[in-house]
Amino acid sequence: MKYKAVISDYVWPSLDIEQKLLGSHNVDIVDCNNSTKEELIEEVKDADAIIFCFKEIDAEILEAAKKCKVASRYGIGVDNIDIEKCSQLGIVVTNIPDYCLEEVSDHAISMILSLNRRIVDHWNMVKEGGWNNLNLDIPVLRLSQSTLGIVGFGRIGRTISERISSMGVKCVAYDPILKEGEIINNIEIVSFEKLLEISDFITVHVPLIESTYHLFSKNEFNKMKNNAILVNCARGGLIDESEASIALDKGIIGGIGLDVIEDVSENPTSPLFNNNNVIITPHTAFFSKASSEELQRRTCEEVIRVINNEIPENFINPEVRKNSRSKIN
């Protein structure tokens, strides 16, 4: 029996991995990376699977996909697909939550180290002819005397704590589903308020949901240490960038590193583009050759499991079992 998988978008050079793996299981792929929404809707009408990365998979697209059994996300976050609609229609949603633990952890730590050492600002100063203009009256911290607060102590948060602890940094963590006072992997779980107060560096690793939108805004910046550094490699809406820009200008906080920003348009802007001691990367924290290949392979494997009526490894909407188009148990 032949199946059809529509790939809405991707960011790697080719679909060779998908073609080889899915093809070996009688799944033909349709590349919609450069397609309009209307063209995508037309293609999903007879698709058995949708594989997506950054494109918005909304109710209109899902309702057109009358045969679709599975929507498999290239990546971790699933805030760009209507999960409730998928469950109503019987479509299984999957993701790959742990393919880039090392890469994201290394990216976040690199930002912390670079911002603390003022690497980018010093490089810009040198390029502008300021070799002899070094100002030593800046708050560069010794790592062994600093504290990192980790907001969201899941897979990535725990990997970061393991890696940066080896550099002598003390770590604490906040997670709403963990009990204050617990010790996990030698890391103390503290309240969000305490984390803001005691951390020299803060790194954020939580999903973007209604309760976490602008988790960091004026009130939170005012509770942080004056020279604290904030890093976000999770979702753009977690940080109020306008208030962050003001806080940097006023010296309320010391630096910001972002791999994601609020503006998700084709040519995004941010008020933080004009601030000093800021590093912004274009959502590349996930990337290495190894992580990309693993992501492609495991996303395809989830599709294969579901069309073969098997339970996926990473089941986002298990409530769909009662009416799933795939006869999963």
Report which of 252, 254, 193 is spatially closest to residue 218, judged by C-alpha positions.
Answer: 252
Q: How far apart are CA 33 and CA 6, in angstroms?
A: 10
Alpha carbon separation from 68 to 5, 47, 89, 175, 225 (Å, rounded):
9, 6, 9, 35, 50
Q: Specify the pLDDT at position 329.
A: 65
Task: Find where tokens 């988790």 sit.
Answer: 215
**What percentage of the chain carries pLDDT values higher than 70?**
100
Q: Mean of the pLDDT values across residues 303-313?
A: 97
Evaluate whether 264 touches 290 at the Cβ level (below 8 Å): no
pLDDT digits (tens, 9 = 90+) for 26-46: 999 999 999 999 999 999 999
Bridge-based pairing state of the strands 147-151 and 201-204: parallel
- Residue 167 is encoded by which pair of tokens? 């550099």
Evaluate whether 310 touches 154 at the Cβ level (below 8 Å): no
Q: Specify the pLDDT at position 242.
A: 98
Length of the chain: 329
Give the three-class secondary structure for 304.
helix
* C-beta atoms surrounding 30 within 10 Å: 16
Backbone angles phi, psi at 227, to 5 degrees: -110, 20
pLDDT digits (tens, 9 = 90+) for 49-65: 999 999 999 999 999 99
137: confidence class by pLDDT, cuts 50, 70, 90: confident
Q: Mean of the pLDDT values across residues 153-164?
A: 97
Evaluate whether 213 touches 241 at the Cβ level (below 8 Å): no
Q: Specify the pLDDT at position 266.
A: 82
Evaluate whether 263 touches 270 at the Cβ level (below 8 Å): yes
Q: Specify the pLDDT at position 219.
A: 98
- Catalytic residue list: 235, 266, 283
DSSP label of 275: -
Top-level CATH class of 101-280?
alpha beta
Domain ranges of the chain: 3-99+289-323, 101-280
What is the overall mean pLDDT for the chain? Answer: 96
Give the three-class secondary structure for 4.
strand
Angle at 3 between CA 301 and CA 54, to 5 degrees: 55
**What percentage of the chain carries pLDDT values higher than 90?**
94
Backbone angles phi, psi at 115, to 5 degrees: -70, -40
- Residue 177 is encoded by which pair of tokens? 């589903």
Q: Mean of the pLDDT values across residues 168-194?
A: 97
Evaluate whether 299 touches 71 at the Cβ level (below 8 Å): no
Provide the residue type at 91 as one letter.
Answer: I
- Residue 146 is encoded by which pair of tokens? 């600093």
pLDDT digits (tens, 9 = 90+) for 61-86: 999 999 999 999 999 989 999 999 99
Report which of 87, 50, 41, 94 is spatially closest to residue 68, judged by C-alpha positions.
Answer: 50
Segment (H or E) for 29: strand 27-31
Is CATH 3.40.50.720 correct for 3-99+289-323?
yes
Q: How far apart are CA 223 and CA 196, in angstroms?
A: 6
For 203, residues 6+ apart whose C-beta sits below 8 A from its C-beta are: 108, 112, 148, 149, 150, 151, 157, 160, 230, 231, 232, 233
pLDDT digits (tens, 9 = 90+) for 192-248: 999 999 999 999 999 999 999 999 999 999 999 999 999 999 999 999 999 999 999
Q: Mean of the pLDDT values across residues 271-287?
A: 95
On the question of pLDDT at 102 being above 90, the answer is: yes
Q: How far apart are CA 249 and CA 244, in angstroms?
A: 9
Q: How far apart are CA 219 and CA 243, in angstroms?
A: 9
Give the three-class secondary structure for 188.
strand
135: confidence class by pLDDT, cuts 50, 70, 90: confident
Q: Specify the pLDDT at position 265.
A: 86
Q: How far apart are CA 183 and CA 189, in angstroms?
A: 6
Q: pTM, whole model, 2 decimals?
A: 0.89
152: confidence class by pLDDT, cuts 50, 70, 90: very high
Do 3-99+289-323 and 101-280 share a fold?
A: yes
Report which of 297, 248, 294, 293 is spatially closest to residue 275, judged by C-alpha positions.
Answer: 248
